[in-house]
Amino acid sequence: MIRVRRIRLFRKDLRTRMPFRYGIATMVDVPHVFLNLEMEDSFGLHHGISADHLPPKWFTKDPERDPIDEVDEMLEVVRQAIELSQEREAATPFDFWWDLYRDQSAWALTRSLPPLLSNFGVTLVERALIDAWCRGHRLTFFEAVRRFDLGVDLGRIHDELAGRQPGDELPEAPLHSVFARHTVGLADPLRDGDIPAGEILNDGLPQSLEACIRFYGLTHFKLKVEGKPDQDLARLRTIAEVLEENCPDGYAASLDGNESFREASTYASFWDGLQADPKLNRLLERLLFVEQPLHRDIALQTPLSDLSEPGRTQCPVIIDESDAELSSLPQALELGYSGTSHKNCKGVFKGIANRCLINMRSREGLPHLMMSGEDLSNVGPIALLQDLAVQSTLGIESVERNGHHYFAGLSAYPGSLQNRVLETHGDLYTRSGSGPARVTIANGRMSTRSTVDAPFGVGFQPDLDQFANEI
């Protein structure tokens, strides 16, 4: 039996090194929260940590709302999950999450809060609980999942997985590196010459797309579009030119619609224009999938057959923001979608079950099913590492990463913490001269070796009081 004894919430406000424009939002300043949890079981008292951004205009995409109000709402759902967790008991971490998820969902209904948002509070607790469990039992996350120590009951999430265990469907070994699928935001400069003289950064990190390719050896890319076909296609032509010039050995890419197409006909027009443009032929050949083109209001009511003319070349389409409930993936698959994304902010246990469902159906012969690895602009010293531990366990090799691009490494944190990260995760972080610790991406890949060897991604326990404010 486990019991959560105490939970503390901390906040640190971060600032990007360059604007990150995604969909209807542009991120410059963002709160980053840390959750510290004490779990008690028969082995004693154990501490676990989780962390994540509070990003405006992602959990709810209402252009009329003040971003400050949205941050307050995100904090409300986190605090509610904390309140529901205090002194709660359960037999396993999965049982704890399951009961918390149901209670938080019931509360959210009384407040008319969308499930994607309300579950965010749950998964911050979930991640800290997993961290505490793995530390207390001296297990890595991969071991805890494979050995059933976390108590994951797949059949409670997806009926057709009843009787199956994660070890039956997940890889036999975790990945030790992944492709960093570099995000090209809507405001990112594509060439060095695109950067106005007054906006050139001098922080030792690359700024334009072509500079990033040279610096990191990138070969995988996530390209943002905004639901304006003519404008999107023009920018994609320039991106395609940059990729062809700078990736002579080839590349792979995904398109992210960020829910920007509010009608299936508008997306169909965009897709037809992409296929008809000879300058985009090579980009089209290298597309892995299209992510969440339709707004969540219509995405799970629209068959994929409505998105292009018969006879046109198809590309797998997956959901992301529409993956708000436990039933979302099966519903999407029925409509012809090829799968969903995993990011820890949508839930770790949910992601495990979704990956198992996709793997099982793929093994049964259903074509083009996939789970992608996506990002909430994850940064260290906690969130990025825990996300990599999960992606590696799920066997997802191409993972969107953009925290290395929009944030100046660990510069917001004290030198003592940066040194601790470098000592513990020297395969993932490096330091250039006297600059801050930053993520290492070599030949387009990131090492996950130290994160999969740690209890839950993170091989040390930072003192949050040293660099964040309790709230």
Per-residue confidence (pLDDT) for residue 335, from 0 to 100: 94
Burial of 73 (0-12, 13-18, 19+ CB in 10 A): middle
> Which residues contact residue 364 at a Cβ distance below 8 angstroms, ignoring those fewer than 6 apart?
none
CA–CA dist 162, 335 (Å, integer): 23
449: which 2 tokens? Answer: 């070796």
Given a cut of 60, whether residue 247 has pLDDT beyond it is yes
Phi then psi dihedrals of residue 65, to 5 deg: -85, 145
pLDDT band at residue 311, thresholds of 50, 70 and 90?
Answer: low
Over residues 307-328, the mean pLDDT reads 84
Place of tokens 């079981």: 41
CA–CA dist 164, 62 (Å, integer): 40
CA angle 289, 358, 392 (to 5 degrees): 80
pLDDT band at residue 158, thresholds of 50, 70 and 90?
Answer: very high
Q: Which amino acid is it at 158? A: H
Across 91-249, the runs of DSSP E, i.e. the strands, are 177-184, 220-224
Provide the CB-side half-sphere exposure for 307 (13 A, CA).
25
* Closest by Cα among 87, 77, 69, 23 to 52: 77
Per-residue confidence (pLDDT) for residue 336, from 0 to 100: 92
What CATH number has the domain spanning 166-470?
3.20.20.120
- Between residues 85 and 70, the one the model is more confident about: 85
* Closest by Cα among 1, 341, 355 to 164: 355
Q: Do residues 211 and 47 make contact, with C-beta atoms less than 8 angstroms apart?
A: no
236: which 2 tokens? Answer: 């994609």
Q: Do residues 386 and 458 make contact, with C-beta atoms less than 8 angstroms apart?
A: yes
Q: At what angle do helices 67-85 and 115-137 cross, to 10 degrees?
A: 50
- Between residues 323 and 367, the one the model is more confident about: 323
Q: What percent of the chain has pLDDT over 70?
A: 98
Q: At what angle do helices 67-85 and 93-111 cross, to 10 degrees?
A: 130
Per-residue confidence (pLDDT) for residue 110, from 0 to 100: 96
Looking at residue 388, what DSSP letter applies?
Answer: H
In the beta sheet, which residues pair with residue 345? none
In the beta sheet, which residues pair with residue 44? 41
Across 339-458, the runs of DSSP E, i.e. the strands, are 339-342, 370-373, 398-401, 429-431, 437-439, 445-447
Given a cut of 80, whether residue 310 has pLDDT beyond it is no
Q: What percent of the chain has pLDDT over 90?
A: 87
Q: Which amino acid is it at 49? A: I
* Closest by Cα among 2, 5, 30, 35 to 17: 30
Over residues 15-64, the pLDDT tens digits come to 999 998 887 778 889 999 999 999 999 889 999 999 999 988 778 777 77
The domain segmentation of the chain, as residue ranges, is: 2-161, 166-470
* Closest by Cα among 218, 290, 220, 214 to 259: 290
pLDDT band at residue 355, thresholds of 50, 70 and 90?
Answer: very high
Phi then psi dihedrals of residue 136, to 5 deg: -65, -30
Alpha-carbon dihedral angle through residues 242, 244, 250, 255, given to the nearest 10 degrees: 60
How many other CB atoms are found less than 10 A from the CB of residue 196? 7
Per-residue confidence (pLDDT) for residue 308, from 0 to 100: 65
244: which 2 tokens? Answer: 């062809």
- β-pairing, 287-291 vs 252-256, is parallel
- Between residues 134 and 56, the one the model is more confident about: 134
pLDDT mean across residues, the chain:
94
Q: Is the dihedral of CA 325, 227, 248, 379 positive or negative?
A: negative
CA–CA dist 467, 470 (Å, integer): 10
Single pTM value for the model: 0.96
Given a cut of 80, whether residue 359 has pLDDT beyond it is yes
Omega of the bond prior to 436 within 30 degrees of 0, cis?
Answer: no
Per-residue confidence (pLDDT) for residue 432, from 0 to 100: 79
Cα-atom radius of gyration of the chain, to the nearest Å? 21
Q: Which long-range contacts does 319-323 make (Cβ < 8 Å, 24+ apart)?
A: 319/291, 319/292, 320/256, 320/291, 320/292, 320/374, 321/58, 321/61, 321/116, 321/259, 321/292, 321/296, 322/292, 322/294, 322/296, 323/116, 323/354
CATH class for the domain made up of 2-161: alpha beta
* Closest by Cα among 355, 432, 337 to 391: 355
